[in-house]
């Protein structure tokens, strides 16, 4: 004895099959439209970067656009990856420079501004960052591909955004606040 499916299940299967048959061309059309849109965007991005005029290259084949992009990306020089501690120190120094440039504009007396600057200079790490979220201290410098560099920049931005709200407690010393 072979089990037979109820008639409603067979009808549902047929409907599903018909639906898939009708949707398949629509899905394929959407997929091709996405590919073409992405290729058009890539063309508008890559032509100025390789020094070509858009008006002269309005009718490029898809393969030409992809080849230009690959050639451009392979020609980008690979830069060595900086040590995490060096990146942290550079950022700290840049912050110190900004604070030093902005302090005179705050209306704060000269002595208080000098104390803030001295405090920040003393707090600057000498050998390694005091950052709990940093990893890979002392990692050797290795060449980065453009994709690795992009991922690294995105990770650095997201880490700096998450650390922007961290408050460092000062022990016992009065702190000037603008409010």
pTM of full prediction above 0.75: no
Residue 159 to residue 134: CA distance in whole angstroms: 9
pLDDT, tens digit, 9 for 90 and up, residues 44-71: 898 888 888 777 777 889 999 999 999 9
Instruction: Supply the pLDDT for residue 4.
Output: 67
Residue 45 to residue 22: CA distance in whole angstroms: 36
Question: Helix 62-75 vs helix 7-49: angle between axes, to the nearest 10 degrees?
Answer: 60
Instruction: Supply the pLDDT for residue 133.
Output: 47
Low-confidence residues of the chain, pLDDT below 70?
1-5, 125-173, 179
Residue 75 to residue 72: CA distance in whole angstroms: 5
């Amino acid at each position: 004895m072979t089990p037979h499916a109820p008639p409603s299940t067979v009808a549902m299967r047929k409907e599903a099959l018909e639906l898939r048959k009708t949707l398949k061309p629509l899905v394929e059309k959407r997929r091709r439209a996405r590919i073409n849109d992405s290729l058009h965007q890539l063309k508008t991005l890559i032509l100025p970067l390789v020094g070509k005029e858009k008006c002269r290259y309005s009718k490029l084949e898809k393969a030409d656009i992809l080849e230009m992009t690959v050639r451009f990306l392979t020609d980008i020089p690979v830069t060595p990856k900086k040590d995490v501690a060096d990146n942290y120190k550079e950022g700290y120094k840049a912050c110190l420079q900004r604070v030093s440039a902005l302090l005179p504009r705050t209306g704060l007396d000269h002595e208080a501004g000098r104390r803030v600057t001295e405090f920040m200079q003393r707090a600057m790490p000498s050998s390694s960052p005091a950052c709990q979220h940093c990893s890979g201290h002392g990692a050797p410098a290795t060449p980065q591909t453009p994709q690795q560099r992009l991922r690294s920049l995105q990770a650095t931005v997201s880490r700096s955004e998450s650390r922007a709200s961290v408050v460092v407690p000062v022990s016992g010393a009065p702190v000037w606040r603008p409010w």
